[in-house]
Chain A
């Protein structure tokens, strides 16, 4: 994946570029808004990671101008402004995700990978399949190894999100945002309990455990046989 990082804090940027390279991606970096905007316009990036407060051109302006030019590259905003209304402003401007600073690198990486995946697959798929687990979005039906699995509506949406991003790490805040549509910090382990309930339904009676915990980060749904 080719990632462009527009961030004026050089130390933070060099740490990020190094970590993204270690994770196997190509990462380039621009110091200021104007330069970053030119680089993004030249194209060829899979995901843009943009700081909000930048010299010469504000992050929000970069995104509105890019969208105005018909550029639909997925954008993730990184910002110290992390309140609900800041996030709303960022998403309204046309960004695809918003991560407040300070953040864990694993959280950022998970979100970038999900953005890239969404770019490739789009929303058009009507069915997902991971190993012998199948989800039919039209019939709202879930099967494992041919057996019907009955899920509560929220459990279904949780599984749907995990299967859509199969093979990717998803974090607890990503789940809360996308499955419950809340952006607050749940403080305690509420999400973990939902996951363990889901696991009891889709994994407990089978040999291969598809839904795995990634320590300190979140969860991943994947099959070793693929």
Chain B
């Protein structure tokens, strides 16, 4: 019983069962309807034959005598056929005809017998216990005549009907089972394999994927979507792992410095100004840590796409101009020639603050490295233009640039190239720019400026913006 319940919980079994029951009922109704209709037609035809016979008899009988009529009946009774003839007296005793016995009470009413009745005839042609319908007449002198027709063995028709019903039902069950075997079990096997794989993946192997048959059916599509989901999860998981590793490596270093500073001060017994200086150093060191933490959190949240809810239309050219205006005095002070090139307004949908921060990071870097230029004429150019529905923001400097093999690597978190280790920075600036570009469905490209570096953010501008 328990196993049966479990079997019922399988969708394909339930479906097959439901189909079998519905089609079974359908077959029963259909067969019953045909049976009833056929027997009605049969009886109607029989009645027609009986009526014809009666008409023929009354033509022969005409206005003749009763004895002649009896003789005609006698003659007809001897001929082989399905017709029944009977003449009886008032007490019910049979005088003539081919019927030896019949159900009592049939002769009591004149006209058509309401139901088929049972009778026994003479001779082997009319075996015992057969059914017939007939018409009953009253003849002069209290005699009664019965003209009718044999309907055959009563159970035979019912037998045929029952047999065809059984055959139909067996076929239904068989077809249902076969359907389940071929369709249901196949589906079940696929689902089982999916749930098995899912269990293994849940147990920890995020790199396993669901198998696909390649037929492109619903199961393949489902497996495909689940595989994509797994891919995204694995990617996020990888990001999370990387962040934790980075935190372990790169945040522990300044924390250690902080602790050492405090410990040194405590054991060194300095004077009041020494203490003050130490505290100021510690605060400065904590500020760097906080800044790194903030940048890290920001990158994570930008990558998770949680800012997408705050997207609005803004003018990209205005942001470029803002950043230029913000950094122009600093560039001037550093002796960098800082110029800007913008066309008219370029409206895009996105997050203005994040875009501003990304551009500020790029500009900050550009000014920092342009001063390393050997030419003695450090230059930075910031600009934006729009072409083929793609906005392109460029920040170019004529500093030392980045070697080709390092250009992808520097976008990763905490990656700082050896020659930049001496400069202030968290190693997160370009990671944030990259994340902001991708949040806007764009890309960050680092290229050559001959000499120097050109950082390009490309952002698709959707139609209607």
Binding site for B on A (CB under 8 A): 82-85, 88, 100, 102, 154, 180, 182-190, 193-194, 196-197, 216
**A197 and B329 contacting across the interface, CB-CB below 8 Å:** yes
Size class of the B contact interface (CB-based, 8 Å): 20 to 34
Residue of A at shortest CB range from B426? Answer: A187
**A102 and B360 contacting across the interface, CB-CB below 8 Å:** no
**B330 and A85 contacting across the interface, CB-CB below 8 Å:** no
Question: With the chains together, A83 CA to B303 CA distance in Å?
Answer: 13
Chain B residues, Cβ within 8 Å of A184: 353, 356-357, 360
| B interface: dominant SS | helix
What are 8 A-B interface contacts by the 8 Å CB criterion?
A: A82-B297, A83-B306, A84-B351, A85-B306, A183-B353, A184-B357, A187-B361, A193-B332
Is B290 interfacial (CB 8 A cutoff)? Answer: yes
- What's the least CB distance linking A140 to chain B, in Å? 18
Residue of A at shortest CB range from B301? Answer: A83
Is B205 interfacial (CB 8 A cutoff)? Answer: no
Question: With the chains together, A190 CA to B331 CA distance in Å?
Answer: 9
Binding site for A on B (CB under 8 A): 280, 290-291, 294, 297-298, 301, 306-307, 309-310, 322, 325-327, 329-330, 332-333, 351, 353-354, 356-357, 360-361, 364
Question: With the chains together, A82 CA to B307 CA distance in Å?
Answer: 13
- What's the least CB distance linking B372 to chain A, in Å? 16
**A84 and B353 contacting across the interface, CB-CB below 8 Å:** yes
Question: With the chains together, A115 CA to B356 CA distance in Å?
Answer: 26
**B290 and A102 contacting across the interface, CB-CB below 8 Å:** yes
**A185 and B326 contacting across the interface, CB-CB below 8 Å:** no
Question: With the chains together, A170 CA to B46 CA distance in Å?
Answer: 116
Residue of A at shortest CB range from B319? Answer: A182
Residue of B at shortest CB range from A100? Answer: B294
**A82 and B294 contacting across the interface, CB-CB below 8 Å:** yes
Question: With the chains together, A161 CA to B291 CA distance in Å?
Answer: 26
Known A184-B356, A186-B360, A188-B364: A85·B327 in contact at CB below 8 Å:
no
Question: With the chains together, A83 CA to B301 CA distance in Å?
Answer: 9
Chain B residues, Cβ within 8 Å of A180: 322, 326
**A193 and B353 contacting across the interface, CB-CB below 8 Å:** no
Residue of B at shortest CB range from A85? Answer: B310
**B356 and A88 contacting across the interface, CB-CB below 8 Å:** no
**B294 and A194 contacting across the interface, CB-CB below 8 Å:** no
- What's the least CB distance linking A180 to chain B, in Å? 6
Question: With the chains together, A85 CA to B329 CA distance in Å?
Answer: 30
Chain A residues, Cβ within 8 Å of B325: 154
Question: With the chains together, A189 CA to B325 CA distance in Å?
Answer: 14
Question: With the chains together, A53 CA to B364 CA distance in Å?
Answer: 35
Question: With the chains together, A216 CA to B284 CA distance in Å?
Answer: 10
**B297 and A85 contacting across the interface, CB-CB below 8 Å:** no
Of B290, B329, B361, B364, the most chain A CB neighbours within 10 A belong to: B329
Known A180-B322, A182-B322, A187-B364: A193·B298 in contact at CB below 8 Å:
no
Of the candidates A84, A185, A190, which one forms a contact with B329 in the assembled complex, judged by CB atoms under 8 Å apart? A190
**A83 and B329 contacting across the interface, CB-CB below 8 Å:** no
Known A84-B351, A88-B310, A188-B364: A182·B327 in contact at CB below 8 Å:
no
Residue of A at shortest CB range from B325? Answer: A154
**A186 and B310 contacting across the interface, CB-CB below 8 Å:** no
Chain B residues, Cβ within 8 Å of A83: 297-298, 301, 306-307
- What's the least CB distance linking B352 to chain A, in Å? 9
- What's the least CB distance linking B399 to chain A, in Å? 16
Residue of A at shortest CB range from B327? Answer: A190
Question: With the chains together, A84 CA to B301 CA distance in Å?
Answer: 10
Question: With the chains together, A190 CA to B332 CA distance in Å?
Answer: 11
Question: With the chains together, A193 CA to B356 CA distance in Å?
Answer: 19
Chain B residues, Cβ within 8 Å of A82: 294, 297
Question: With the chains together, A187 CA to B307 CA distance in Å?
Answer: 22
Known A182-B322, A185-B294, A186-B326: A84·B333 in contact at CB below 8 Å:
no
Question: With the chains together, A182 CA to B319 CA distance in Å?
Answer: 10
Chain A residues, Cβ within 8 Å of B297: 82-83
Chain A residues, Cβ within 8 Å of B310: 84-85, 88
Chain A residues, Cβ within 8 Å of B326: 180, 182, 186, 190, 194
**A85 and B364 contacting across the interface, CB-CB below 8 Å:** no
